[in-house]
Amino acid sequence: MAKEFTVAVAGATGAVGVEMVKTLEKRNFPVKNLKLLASARSAGKTMKFKGEDVVIEEMTENSFKGVDIALFSAGGDISKAYRKCVVDAGAVMIDNSSAFRMEDDVPLIVPEVNPEDIKWHKGVIANPNCTTAIMLVAVAPLHRAKGLKRVVASTYQAASGAGAKGMAELIEQTRQILNGEPIEPKAFAHRIAFSLIPHIDSFMPNGYTKEELKMLNESRKMLHLPELLLTCTSVRIPAMRAHSESLNLEFENEITPEEARAILEAAPGVTVVDDPEKKLYPMPVDATEKYDVLAGRIRQDISRNDKRGLDIFVSGDQLLKGAALNAVQIAELL
């Protein structure tokens, strides 16, 4: 009989945690026993898994005995606090936070991009930043064919990036504004309904945000391209749960839009949506609840006098490919 695993989901009630549980079920992951862990606030409530009610437990240091795989999405501080007890219990931690991503002995993995890195894990595997994962699913196959040199990215990131409270705030604020009621931003620094905020995560001394630097550093690590040049502006927009990105790409070798389309059509995890005459291009509403990253608006960069520049637009479900799905795919690779 095929091996089955005891799987824990830490942060099971959160925006990503809920999707992790659904993805384990939908992909028929061989789960022998599922442990749903959250804060004391949620202990005793239930969530459905394969038609059964599973009782949520308060996460403690003793929660990981007998666990094979622990999917973590309860925030970086919690991942740091529990790392040792998870590894000591013999479980493999697949962590969605940014806590360990840049550590030398922690592989950072998108299965379509760098599955080979799983071999050197030492008990912790990091799930990348959501915008980086969505970008690289589309960019890595182009890089393999043509050699990526430089990226100029602008992102359009959904409320779901701030968790369940971000999505709730977008809905509530929209209602308040339509009713002429006062608003009080909490999950975001400013009003998000009917506006946008060019600020995700905290600012660094060089004027970039941490989110923007994750795109650079995590791409270098996963593509094994320490010299990659990348600049990014990350923007929060009032979309619910899929992130979009405008990507200007420069390659070592010439690449035409037709070649790029053919490469992306053959790439796992990508659906090409690129028929401008029929008004078909990637959009967050269409990427929502899809496993694939949508890629389109593929065109030659006309600001150059060679054919080494390409513009593309991608949309991917932040909670799935950007988080829960990627984590479950890492578990599948294991």
**What is the β-pairing status of strands 5-10 and 293-300?**
unpaired
Catalytic residue among 130, 143, 224, 232: 130
For residue 9, the minimal CB distance to ligand A2P (Å) is: 9
Counted residue by residue, the chain has a size of 334
CA nearest neighbour of 167 among 22, 288, 282: 288
Of the candidates 317, 328, 269, 315, the residue with the CA atom closest to the CA atom of residue 17: 328
Minimum CB–partner distance for residue 98 and ligand A2P (Å): 13
Residue from 54, 85, 87, 164 in contact with ligand A2P (CB under 6 A): 164
Q: Does 127 bind ligand A2P (CB under 6 A)?
A: no
Count of residues in contact with ligand A2P, rule CB under 6 A: 17
Binding to ligand A2P (CB under 6 A): which residues in 8-27?
Answer: 11-15, 17
Q: Select from 20, 21, 38, 298 the one that contacts ligand A2P (CB under 6 A).
A: 38
B/e letters for 149-182, b = 16+ CB within 10 Å, e = fewer, are: bebbbbbbbbbbbbbbebbebbebbeeeeeeeee
Q: Between 53 and 92, how does the x/- string for binding to ligand A2P read (CB under 6 A)?
A: ------x--------------xx--x--------------
Radius of gyration for the alpha carbons in the chain, expressed in angstroms and rounded:
20
Nearest approach, Cβ of 130 to ligand A2P (angstroms)?
A: 12
For ligand A2P, which residue has the nearest CB? 14
| Residue with Cβ nearer ligand A2P (165 or 191) | 165
Quickly tell me which residue has 């949506």 as its tokens. 273
Cα–Cα distance measured from residue 135 to residue 128, given in angstroms and rounded to the nearest whole number? 11
* CA atoms within 13 A of residue 173's CA, in its CB half-sphere: 22
Q: Using alpha carbons, select from 95, 121, 109 the residue that is nearest to residue 11.
A: 95
For 91, which DSSP code?
Answer: P
Q: How far is the CB of 74 from ligand A2P (least distance, A)?
A: 3
CB of 88 to ligand A2P, least distance (A): 18
Q: Work out whether 163 is an interface residue with ligand A2P (CB under 6 A).
A: yes
The residue among 47 and 113 lying less far from ligand A2P, judged by its C-beta, is 47
Angle 320-323-325 (CA atoms, 0-180°, nearest 5)?
50
Residue 102 interacts with ligand A2P (CB under 6 A)?
Answer: no
Q: Which of 121, 143, 232, 243 is catalytic?
A: 243
Q: Is 243 a catalytic residue?
A: yes
Rounded distance between C-alpha atoms, residue 53 and residue 46, angstroms: 6
Sign of CA dihedral 63, 12, 21, 331: negative
Nearer to ligand A2P, 71 or 125 (CB): 71
Q: Report the C-alpha gap between 118 and 127 in whole angstroms.
A: 11
In whole angstroms, the minimum distance from the beta carbon of 309 to ligand A2P comes to 37
Question: Which range touches ligand A2P (CB under 6 A), out of 5-13, 112-120, 137-145, 316-324?
Answer: 5-13
Binds ligand A2P by CB under 6 A, chosen from 6, 39, 176, 233: 39
For strands 92-95 and 124-126, give the pairing: parallel
The residues carrying an active-site annotation are 130, 243
- Footprint on this chain of ligand A2P (rule: CB under 6 A): 11-15, 17, 38-39, 41-42, 59, 74-75, 78, 163-165
